[in-house]
Amino acid sequence: MTKRSKGANEDKLIETKSKNVSGKSQKQKKPVEAESLKEEDLLQASGTDSDYDGDSLPGSLNSDDFDSDFSDSEDDGTHEGTEDGDVEFSDDDDVLEHDGSIDNEDDDGSEHVGSDNNEEHGSDEDSERGEAVEESDSSEDEVPSRNTVGNVPLKWYEDEKHIGYDLTGKKITKKEKQDKLDSFLATIDDSKTWRKIYDEYNDEDVELTKEESKIVQRILKGEAPHADFDPYAPYVEWFKHDDAIHPLSSAPEPKRRFIPSKWEAKKVVKIVRAIRKGWIKFDKPEEEPNVYLLWGDDSTSDQKSKHLTYIPPPKLKLPGHDESYNPSLEYIPTEEEKASYELMFEEDRPKFIPTRFTSLRSIPAYENALKESFERCLDLYLCPRVRKKRINIDPESLKPKLPSRKDLRPYPNSCYLEYKGHTGAVTSISTDSSGEWIASGSTDGSVRMWEVETGRCLKVWQFDEAIMCVAWNPLSRLPVLAVAMGRDLFFLNTELGTDEEQEITKERLHSGNIPEPDASVAAIVTWLPDELYGGIKIRHFKSISSIDWHRKGDYLSTVMASGETRGVVLHQLSKQKTQRLPFKIRGLPVCTLFHPSLSYFFVATRKDVRVYNLLKPGEATKKLETGLREISSMAIHPGGDNLIVGSKEGKMCWFDMDLSSKPYKTLKNHPKDITNVAVHRSYPLFASCSEDSTAYVFHGMVYNDLNQNPLIVPLEILRGHSSKGGVLDCKFHPRQPWLFTAGADSIIKLYCH
């Protein structure tokens, strides 16, 4: 029994062993089984039932409990020693019974009555168990079998020459079969033959030693296998059996605990039937507790209110320090402040003037109490309250994704040069085709020609009238300046260019043989020699508002704003002739423009722009609806498909004529009238100038790909002109990304990149 004290784990192991057949091959498996048992035991400790053996809950204590049980209930202390084995056995038996029988709900006690009969058998088992314990303790003297085939039927090797394989994997050949007679004779001769046993598995004869044969004999006799084992050793009482204050029930688990209850099963069947037939219903809607936050904020409970439109009334302002009966000194207005309240409008006047009282008692009744509460009531039920729909959008995300200004360089941004000399507002500027010179006209009646590089004024032409327009001939070999003032249009020879060019220019401007004008235009214009500067002047019947050269430098269109249907005429310099437009113009013309490469002609009236084909007289080929109130200026992209229109309300429209007759983009930048717009000849730049004395520079990239819309990015606001009068004209340098601006402050500025 001392072995048992080692621990319940080992105990159980042994018990299971003893129940099964003992054999060498079985013994080998032992350590593995012990492992798995340990795990089982742990599981049992956590309370799960096991059908393995009797001692179910809680682990190690149980078997001993049984022990004590028996000694108490049945045998009353007699035969202490023998009982131990008995108990062990009956315990096992009990388990078997539990496993096997279902109906028997009797107490264990009655079972154990018959257990005494099996005493012999029990002791037999006991002795075997003792041996097992011995062997498990001294496993090193155990001879390993030489065959390694394992637990397979030996008949598989019946027909083979070998019986199996040894540890190194070599075949173990069978012994030669001896003649039966010889072997019989040999057994007769040998005195030890009764001790020999043939081991079929290893194909060898095993001779039992004397000890072993004695053990066998003892087992046959039903005694403990070892002679030195004392089955009647004194009982060591490990646990006392006196009544404890908290007695642990020693009663074995009743059987009903292990089998399902019949009545329960009946109940379940009833419920199942009820569910199937629909008598029992699930998913009953849970009733909401009919409670609410009495002191909760009304505004948060709006989703609970049945009315969708319910809006909680605004809260009254809570009283602060100044409404206190004894506010701090800084809340109390001085006499001057009180006097100043009197001067205020009644609406602005503070409703309540903080005053100090020495005690609560001395506070008079609030005179406005009734009035205010009445007004509050009016507010509550008469004032419509509307829920404001607010969308949370990051304003940044609404901005279009534009490339950085840095990447769009070069563009004009800083003013380095100023052209000073005019005494009146500079109304118009024009650069020559090379970019060396710039001409300007002013209200002081002078036209000046400047050297761009140095700001040197090279030439001055003085006239009596304010200059309206100057335009340099686009041909570099014909350095003629067209100047419009009042009703007259002058062609001035700038005396630039080589000698041959000068000769051609002089010939063109020769006023000797001006041909007779056609009858149709005689009333509108007359060509006259210019006495002042030896050129030609054309007198119109109304004052000229704008001029534009054709790209070939021969034709020039003039616009007379008040000329109505006769407001636009075309002059031909080489033939010194004038012709009216071959089509009718609707509305008052503002400015005109030649297409940079094709024979189209743009006429801007006050509200819209019409495109005419000069080769096909008749109606306009296209009408661009600007949506502007009053157009002031126009400029065309050198590609010819994009038109920029500036208006007097400060708006600028970009038309992509391939896209639509509506503006592709409308830019509202200037607070005042746009006076002029300009497009750069080679760089993707355009600009607008305005009476607010600023000029805006934009990046206007037009792609060759028709699928890609033009990219318009505002780049720079050019300030610098004095605020009176604003900027009257802007022109780009023909080759550099520079912008000239002409101001009403009589200065021309050059903005460079």
The window from 11-19, 140-148, 290-298, 433-441 that contacts other proteins (CB under 8 A) reads 433-441
The Cα–Cα gap between 314 and 299 comes to 9
Rounded to 5°, angle at Cα 439 from 483 and 535? 40
Q: Which two tokens stand for residue 526?
A: 């007359």
Does 503 sit near other proteins (CB under 8 A)? no
Residues 728, 430: contact at Cβ < 8 Å?
A: no
For residues 456-475, which are near other proteins according to CB under 8 A? Answer: 456, 458
- Is residue 454 within the footprint of other proteins (CB under 8 A)? yes
Strand partners, 528: 537
Q: Counting contacts by CB under 8 A, is residue 417 touching other proteins?
A: yes
Q: H/E/C letters for each residue in 142-161?
A: CCCCCCCCCCCCHHHHCCCC
**Angstrom distance (rounded) from CA 162 to CA 180:** 21
Residue 451 CB, nearest distance to other proteins (Å)? 8
- 224 SS3 class: coil
Nearest to 411 by CA among 153, 708, 715: 715
Residue 506 binding other proteins, by CB under 8 A: no
* In the complex, minimum distance from the CB of residue 498 to other proteins, in angstroms, rounded to a whole number: 6
Considering the rule CB under 8 A, would residue 405 count as an interface residue with other proteins?
A: no
Smallest distance, Å, CB 496 to other proteins? Answer: 8
CB 741 within 8 A of CB 748: yes
Distance in angstroms (rounded) separating the CA atoms of residues 495 and 713: 40
Member of 49, 105, 190, 453 binding other proteins (CB under 8 A): 453
Of 9 and 476, CB closest to other proteins:
476
Query: Closest distance between other proteins and the C-beta of residue 433, in Å?
Result: 11
| Helix extents (H) in 306-362 | 335-343
State the first-to-last Cα distance of the chain, in angstroms, to the nearest integer.
109
The amino acid occupying position 62 is: N
Q: Which range in 129-137, 356-364, 451-459, 537-545 contacts other proteins by CB under 8 A?
A: 451-459
Which residues have CB under 8 Å from 371's CB, separation 6+?
none
Interacting residue with other proteins among 27, 146, 586, 735 (CB under 8 A): 735
Asked if 753 interacts with other proteins (CB under 8 A), we say: yes
Of the two residues 50 and 454, which places its CB atom closer to other proteins in the complex?
Answer: 454
* Residue 736 makes contact with other proteins by CB under 8 A: yes
Interface size with other proteins, residues (CB under 8 A): 18
Helix axes 119-137, 210-221, angle to 10 degrees: 150
Least distance between other proteins and beta carbon 735 (Å):
6
- Does 208 participate in binding other proteins (rule CB under 8 A)? no
Among 2, 138, 392, 498, binds other proteins (CB under 8 A): 498
* Pick 412 or 441: Cβ nearer other proteins: 412
Work out whether 682 is an interface residue with other proteins (CB under 8 A): no
**Smallest distance, Å, CB 509 to other proteins?**
20
Pairing between strand 480-485 and 414-420?
A: unpaired
- For residue 591, give the nearest of 558, 629, 549 by alpha carbon: 558
Only one of the segments 207-215, 303-311, 343-351, 428-436 lies at the binding site for other proteins (rule: CB under 8 A); that segment is 428-436
Nearer to other proteins, 178 or 454 (CB): 454
| CB 404 to other proteins: min, Å | 17
Choosing from 416, 503, 616, 638, the residue that interacts with other proteins (CB under 8 A) is 416
Cα 599 to Cα 504, 590, 636, 640: the distances in Å are 26, 20, 14, 11
Identify the sign of the CA torsion 69, 73, 75, 79: positive
Residues in the site for other proteins, rule: CB under 8 A?
410, 416-417, 434-436, 453-456, 458, 497-498, 735-736, 738, 752-753
